[in-house]
Homo-oligomer: A and B are copies of this chain.
């Protein structure tokens, strides 16, 4: 059954496999008269590309975004915006040896059980490459956020077991892990180097903050803003947990500590993470996302083949050591899509 669409008004549908001709997205429901060019999309796409980071893959795809429809003379027209990215760098020969074997931690086994067939090349549809379409769509969503003066930032809160303690906004772009704490970064870097040497991988926690969100976004009772955000980020491969505001920490507090008191100038604290009863309260929206270590590792592990024979496997080839930091912009994109969708939803009752 269909599961490749997301959003209700600002609605995206993605397509494509890692090693097919191309991957992409169709955005339906975007309002007309927004500025949109391939350059605007490309700017966000470039933040997802493998870069100088030790954590990132050597795969050198030029993820060039092509706008096919829905834009006329630099403006959106209200009709579907299709954006695709060619899969130029795909080498099918790299993957022939995993044709009949299931990589631990990957979707190989579950896709096979679900469908009885799968495009095994590079993980097919379950590849992280699928997120390119999400980022392209996110760039369009961000044009809506921008028009409402909403800002979104993301950074690495924890990486390879090391927490960021300081928060210096300017530091985020100064290190390849997008960590707002240069001291923590140095410790993270040591851990990453150690993991690389061991042929292993690492995970971490991404935090996204959305500023200037008007109060009133979110729909009772199932399409709460936090419920939609939770689904949005949990739908990204490698994500295993999500928190809003102080999240799991709230469970240890008493109500008197956890409640955000209210003054004529606003809330005195933001444990709620900007959302009360599923509706934005005007404060910053705060989301934390648990990212597991990438399952592809050089270390040999036990698995089975398609006939359930015991096998050993170690993943060769080019691979990121962690979904972080490339996943960070994907989290931003997905949350931007949720916010854009709810901005448009709110218009229906005003």
A68 touches B240 (CB 8 A): no
Inter-chain contact B348/A31, CB cutoff 8 Å? yes
Are A82 and B15 interface neighbours, CB within 8 A? yes
Q: Of residues 1 to 45 in A, which have CB atoms within 8 Å of B's CB atoms? A: 1-6, 8-9, 11, 13-17, 20-24, 26, 28-29, 31-33
| A272 contacts B by Cβ under 8 Å | yes
Assess the A70–B28 pair: CB atoms within 8 A: no
Q: What chain B residues lie within 8 Å of A2 (beta carbons)?
A: 8-9, 11, 28-29, 219, 223
Instruction: Identify the closest chain B residue to A75 (Cβ).
Output: B117
Q: How many copies does the complex hold?
A: 4
Closest Cβ–Cβ distance, residue A338 to chain B (whole Å): 11
A/B interface sample: 17 pairs, CB < 8 A = A2-B219, A3-B221, A3-B345, A4-B222, A16-B80, A33-B115, A72-B117, A126-B220, A200-B255, A201-B254, A224-B234, A250-B293, A251-B291, A255-B297, A257-B293, A261-B302, A264-B309
Residues of A within 8 A of B (CB): 1-6, 8-9, 11, 13-17, 20-24, 26, 28-29, 31-33, 66, 68-70, 72, 75, 77-82, 84, 102, 104-107, 109-111, 113-119, 124-126, 130, 158, 161, 195, 198, 200-205, 215-224, 226-232, 234-235, 237, 240-248, 250-264, 268, 272-273, 275-282, 290-297, 299, 301-304, 308-310, 344-350
